[in-house]
């Protein structure tokens, strides 16, 4: 039971789709597609109730956005069939559960709804509900209050239904100890793998067997349809060489972003401030400056007395009593004229008069700690960054024109290549699979094998094969699917039949050994690996296949043994020599373990419930629309 539950609830995707509507979806405008005009084509029907292309497309984009925001999946997974299938299943589950909720008479009162929305963290400001924040978020998501509240009511109804499954997953106290022992059990395990490859020298396949296999399975031996394509690639990287960045631009960037290059550098300074007050008159400023000049002359005459002179003359109440000491600081912590002066000085140096909004400063740099990246050290990287920024900007400008040109002049890629200085390239013969591997995406071949491109000989539109990389392609030659000759596949068939024989020999040896071991007999030819103690959440390096079977073995009598076919690789023998039933060390661990177990049970019950609803409903899925790459 535990293994079945774990199999259903592991993996990033399974965990995300168990909840079929969540609050973030409500805020991302799940209701909006119900109010959009457009095609009524259904991607699926649930007992005749349609799920439209608009619903599916928007839910797909919302789901991708959620995955990206949570950082739970890499970009390559976002266009995968498993994501599309999961989103459609969520929409189907929505319809099934909503219908059941309606039939069961579930209700959420206005008071319950109001209290729930008021408590939502999205609308809290300083610990209280903010009507302004509520209105702002709804406006940003193009939703009215009634639409949002309707969505939330649906969510709460579904949570009521889900709450029932949580209640079903309750484990009574009489079973708690037993459950905890099973869940936290460890087993001492050793394995031996009987490899099919070791039996290959013993195999023999006759020519007649090879020919008979070929004649029986001719449909398997076909060359897939292939194309030669011409293509052009426009990349931001190729534009870098044509970009120019001046020394002045580099210097300006360094100055404006000096904090980026500060590292952990800190400067400690002292100052004497002669202030001239807020809204000072010209006369007051002149008088203050004259006073500052007099103090500066005295400081330069007695530089070692800076601390005493600061206590005597400085009008900065915060530092005067400390001899003008301002402590250590980095870039961005002082007003700009003061900062510019300090970061241009050397330790022990005393500045001339520096004017700021506070008055006139006489500054002494006491020390420098830490290290910063100097302009000379940073300028190479800055220049490279600016070149790339300019290339990206140019790429963005050209991308739309490139797309328009390959579309409008669809009978040739040469105009686009000439206009943007791109190289026309021609591929070798390639199948869909070859193309997906070559371009590291399925997007190109999905476009190439459409009627517009394959049969009508038009350019594809601009395809984003990776960030800041666009390409367009056209078919220059085509080979339909064709059968392979016997001579082409003979060697492969022979190897396959030999492997089949070797697998059977390995399995036979494994099964015979297992029978002997269970009778208490030793099998000297087996080379067991050193034993390891494993837990359900700690494999100690054992394979997934081993771990899937270790805790299924009956351990009433030890040592206990099991055998498993290893998917055309041979046979795996597993030995359990000791079992320890452990309880969690403290009460909090016990509660955590039981909570995880009950959550897994609830998920399993929910999955079974949804399966039962689907089993008694008529579901029709338009697979062509589901796999249409234009729906994104």
What's the CATH code of the domain at 30?
Answer: 1.10.4030.10
Inside any domain, residue 358 = yes
User: Measuring CA to CA, how many Å separate 539 from each of 6, 32, 187?
Assistant: 15, 47, 10
Same domain, 491 and 479: no
| 225 three-state secondary structure | coil
Phi, psi (deg, nearest 5) at residue 189: -130, 145
Residue 158 shares a structural domain with residue 17: yes
Q: Has residue 207 been placed in a domain?
A: no
Which of 330-334, 404-408, 624-628 bottoms out in mean pLDDT, i.e. has the lowest?
Answer: 624-628
Percent of the chain with pLDDT over 90: 41
Q: For residue 196, with 0-12 CB atoms within 10 Å meaning exposed, 13-18 middle and 19 or more buried, which class applies?
A: buried
DSSP for residue 30 = G
Q: Are 7 and 590 in contact (CB under 8 A)?
A: no
Residue 249 located in a structural domain: no
Query: Considering its fold, how many domains does the chain have in total?
Result: 4
Q: What is the pLDDT of residue 5?
A: 34
Peptide bond into 484 cis (omega under 30): no
21 plus 36 within the same structural domain: yes
The number of angstroms, rounded, from the C-alpha of 163 to the middle of its chain's C-alpha atoms is 30
Q: Are 224 and 436 in contact (CB under 8 A)?
A: no
Asked if residue 566 has pLDDT above 80, the reply is yes
DSSP label at residue 196: G
Alpha helices in 105-172 (DSSP H): 110-119, 131-140, 145-168
Residues 408 and 448 both lie in one domain: yes
479 and 493 assigned to the same domain: no
Q: Tens digit of pLDDT for each residue in 61-97? A: 777 777 666 665 555 566 677 778 888 888 888 788 7
Q: How many CB atoms lie within 10 A of CB 620?
A: 12
Are the CB atoms for 148 and 540 separated by under 8 Å? no
Among 62-76, 438-452, 594-608, the range scoring the smallest mean pLDDT is: 62-76
Q: How confident is the model at residue 29 (pLDDT cuts 50, 70, 90)?
A: very low
Asked whether residue 110 falls in the same domain as residue 38, the answer is yes
**CATH code of residue 450:** 3.10.50
How many contiguous H segments (helices) and E segments (strands) does the chain have? Answer: 24, 19
Classified as helix, coil or strand, 632 is coil
End residue of a domain, out of 320, 348, 372: 372
Length of the chain equals 632
**E strand or H helix that includes residue 505:** helix 486-518
Q: Is-contact 271 313, C-beta < 8 A?
A: no
Question: For 243-251, which contacts have Cβ atoms below 8 Å and span 24 or more sequence positions?
Answer: 243/387, 243/390, 243/391, 243/394, 244/390, 245/383, 245/386, 245/387, 245/390, 249/386, 250/379, 250/382, 250/383, 250/386, 251/375, 251/379
pLDDT for residue 10: 40
Are 193 and 570 in contact by the 8 Å Cβ rule? The answer is yes
Residue 534 pairs in a beta bridge with: 187
What average pLDDT does the chain have? 82
Q: Which residues contact 562 (CB under 8 A, 6 or more apart)?
A: 514, 549, 552, 553, 573, 574
Please check whether residues 415 and 549 belong to one and the same domain: no
pLDDT above 70 (res 347): yes
* Residues 425 and 278 occupy one common structural domain: no
Say if 569 falls within a structural domain.
yes
């Amino acid at each position: 039971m535990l293994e079945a539950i774990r199999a259903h609830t592991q993996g990033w995707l399974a965990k995300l789709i168990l909840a079929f509507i969540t609050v973030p979806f409500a805020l991302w405008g799940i209701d909006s597609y119900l109010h959009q005009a457009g095609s009524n084509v259904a991607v699926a029907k649930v007992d005749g109730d349609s799920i439209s292309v608009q619903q599916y497309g928007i839910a797909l984009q919302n789901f991708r956005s959620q995955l990206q925001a949570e950082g739970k999946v890499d970009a390559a997974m976002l266009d995968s069939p498993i994501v599309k299938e999961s989103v459609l299943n969520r929409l189907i589950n929505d319809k099934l559960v909503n219908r059941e909720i309606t039939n069961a008479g579930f209700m959420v009162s206005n008071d319950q709804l109001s209290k729930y929305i008021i408590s939502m963290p999205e609308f809290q400001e300083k610990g209280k509900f903010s009507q302004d924040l509520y209105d702002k978020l709804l406006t940003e998501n193009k939703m009215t209050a009634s639409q949002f509240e309707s969505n939330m009511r649906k969510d709460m109804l579904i949570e009521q239904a889900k709450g029932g499954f949580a209640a079903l997953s309750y484990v009574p106290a009489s079973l708690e100890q037993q459950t905890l022992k099973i869940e936290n059990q460890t087993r001492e395990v050793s394995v031996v793998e009987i490899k099919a490859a070791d039996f290959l020298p013993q195999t023999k396949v006759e020519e007649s067997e090879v020919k008979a296999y070929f004649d029986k399975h001719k449909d398997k031996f076909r060359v897939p349809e292939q194309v030669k394509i011409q293509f052009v690639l426009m990349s931001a990287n190729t534009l870098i060489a044509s970009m120019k960045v001046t020394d002045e631009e580099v210097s300006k960037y360094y100055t404006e972003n000096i904090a980026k290059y500060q590292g952990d550098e800190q400067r400690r300074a002292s100052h004497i401030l002669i202030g001239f007050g807020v809204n000072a008159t010209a006369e007051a400023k002149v008088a203050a400056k004259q006073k500052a000049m007099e103090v500066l002359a005295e400081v330069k005459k007695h530089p070692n007395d800076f601390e005493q002179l600061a206590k005597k003359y400085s009008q900065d109440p915060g530092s005067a009593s400390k001899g003008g000491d301002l402590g250590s600081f980095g870039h961005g912590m002082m007003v700009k004229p003061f900062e510019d002066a300090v970061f241009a000085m050397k330790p022990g140096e005393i500045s001339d008069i520096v004017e700021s909004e506070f008055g006139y400063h006489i500054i002494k740099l006491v020390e420098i700690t830490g290290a910063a990246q100097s302009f000379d050290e940073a300028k190479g990287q800055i220049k490279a960054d600016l070149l790339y920024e300019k290339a990206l900007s140019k790429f963005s400008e050209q991308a739309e024109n490139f797309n328009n040109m390959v579309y409008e002049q669809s009978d040739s890629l040469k105009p686009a290549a000439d206009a943007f200085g791109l190289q026309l390239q021609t591929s070798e013969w390639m199948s869909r699979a070859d193309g997906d591997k070559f371009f590291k995406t399925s997007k190109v071949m999905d476009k190439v094998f459409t009627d517009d491109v394959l049969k009508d000989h038009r350019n594809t539109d601009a395809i984003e094969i990776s960030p800041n990389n666009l390409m367009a392609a056209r078919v220059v030659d085509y080979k339909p699917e064709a059968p392979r000759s016997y001579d082409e596949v003979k060697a492969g068939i022979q190897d396959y039949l030999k492997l089949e024989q070797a697998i059977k020999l390995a399995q036979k040896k494994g099964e015979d050994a297992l029978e002997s071991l269970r009778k208490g007999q030793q099998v000297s030819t087996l080379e067991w690996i050193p034993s390891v103690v494993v837990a359900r959440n700690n494999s100690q390096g054992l394979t997934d296949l081993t771990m899937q079977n270790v805790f299924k073995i009956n351990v009433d009598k030890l040592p206990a043994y099991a055998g498993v076919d290893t998917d055309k690789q041979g046979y795996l023998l597993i030995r359990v020599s000791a079992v320890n039933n452990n309880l969690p060390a403290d009460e909090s661990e016990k509660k955590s373990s039981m909570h995880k177990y009950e959550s897994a049970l609830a998920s399993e019950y929910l999955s079974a419930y949804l399966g039962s609803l689907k089993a008694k409903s008529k579901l029709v899925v338009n697979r062509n629309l589901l796999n249409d790459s234009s729906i994104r």
